[in-house]
Chains A and B, each alone.
Chain A
Amino acid sequence: MIRRLRLALLLALAILLQTAVFPHLRIGGAAPDVALVLTVAVATREGPDTGAIFGFCAGFLVDLYLQTPLGLSALAFALTGAAVGVLQAGLLRPGRWLPPVLGALGALFGNLIFIGVGILAGQDQLRSTHTFQVLGFAILYDALIAAFVFPLAVWATRPSLTARTGVAGAGWGA
């Protein structure tokens, strides 16, 4: 319960940062996808199911502030959460390099789904070379902020005091 509360708090903070702060701090026309990187970090800790659900919620909230169809980011973030969760469960080993690499991979994967499904849904403005230029900067930016977001996800997903007597949480940073 407390973990869910912490995750909800972190998600609200991510949405506020993404809507009120980072639009002022663009690099190369790109703002970071704070909520997407947070989804990647949570999926790395919690696995594909929680990653997908968290991604869906995060994407849905982000969609409320965009002009693209509602549900587009929700779908992209949910699939990213699931994919990163699967990757974490089967392949990844913890390391200092992991947050930026996963942040970049998550940004690439999530944004490609967003662009692909967006074009299928009639968002023709996404069909341009500029879209991919912005995507390049967004990936770099997301890799950078991952270093700050991942420790917050560790804090939010750590076992509560009563649960610590059992098995400690698996995955990155545990």
Chain B
Amino acid sequence: MILLVITSITLITLDERGKGTGIIGSIRSGAHDVVAPVQRGVHDITQPVTDWFDGITSRGQLEKDNRTLRHQVESLKNQVRQGQADRSENARLRRLQGLNFVGDVKTVPGEVISGTPGNFDTTIEIDVGSARGVAKGMPVVSDGGLVGRVVQVGKNSATVLLVSDPSSSVAVRLPRANATGVASGQSGTSVLSVSFVNPDATVTKGMPVFTAGQQDGLYPAGIPVGTVSSVTKAAGANRYDIDVKPGVDLGRLQFVKVMQWTGPGGTP
């Protein structure tokens, strides 16, 4: 038992010091590669089952003696639902295709295949990895703006730390207020908290927030982060309390793009 405790503490210390690189990083990447096909399979299986289940439960009140017709109606309804889902998916993909804020940076499109297995971190698994040029540290975006950054890469999958995770910090800019700050995730909510904003700046609700792209920053400049959802400044206080609602619905992500941005210094 003592041996197990000592081994655990050694692992924790090594991992914290190495920041997930080296052999521990390689072991983690390998483990993700093993599970990714299953996650992909479960995702593919659950999607049509959920659609089918929705079809059954929302069928309505049709007469019993019209069984054949009812089946036909149901089949057509399912086709319509499938068509609507396809159109919606198509629209999302087209929006994703035309992201203007990524500029000249190459992107790798990916699909979300799973969430985190744990209860205390906020990550998603996507179906693209190092085989497609995805590397640790790369920013991940969707049609609404910033999603997060890659923190773990396997060959065909990657883990993305969402911008709403409490350990995530993003240098942001509020162009209309001509101010900068740092947006951090908060526990239990997708709303970001922005700190270090100049108290003399005029910040109002609804203002758009973008990544600042500061030197040695984790993200390039100009990616939409969200909009100011609440702003308070107590009388006499010399700081703002600003909340930002992300432009992306982080709980319902389906398609994302990984920006092959390697940072201002050449490393992500």
Contact = CB atoms under 8 A, between A and B. Distances in A.
Interface of A: 15-16, 18-24, 26, 29-31, 33, 48-49, 52-53, 56, 59-72, 74-75, 78-79, 82, 111, 114-115, 117-118, 121-126, 128-131, 133-135, 138
Interface residues of B, number: 45
Nearest to B159: A67
A71 B12 contact: yes
Contacts of A75: 4-5, 8-9, 12
Contact of A23 (B8, B9, B115): B115
27 contacts: A15-B35, A16-B35, A16-B38, A19-B117, A23-B114, A23-B116, A24-B114, A29-B119, A31-B119, A56-B8, A62-B117, A66-B121, A69-B12, A70-B15, A70-B28, A71-B8, A74-B4, A74-B11, A75-B4, A78-B1, A82-B1, A111-B119, A123-B167, A125-B167, A125-B187, A126-B120, A130-B188
B12 A117 contact: yes
Interface of B: 1, 4-5, 7-12, 14-16, 24, 27-28, 31-32, 35, 38-39, 41-43, 46, 114-121, 123, 151-152, 159, 161, 165-167, 185-189
B192 to A, nearest CB: 14
B120 A20 contact: no
Interface of A is mostly: helix
Given A124-B167, A125-B166, A125-B167, A56 B117 contact: no
A5 B121 CA distance: 32
Nearest to B188: A130
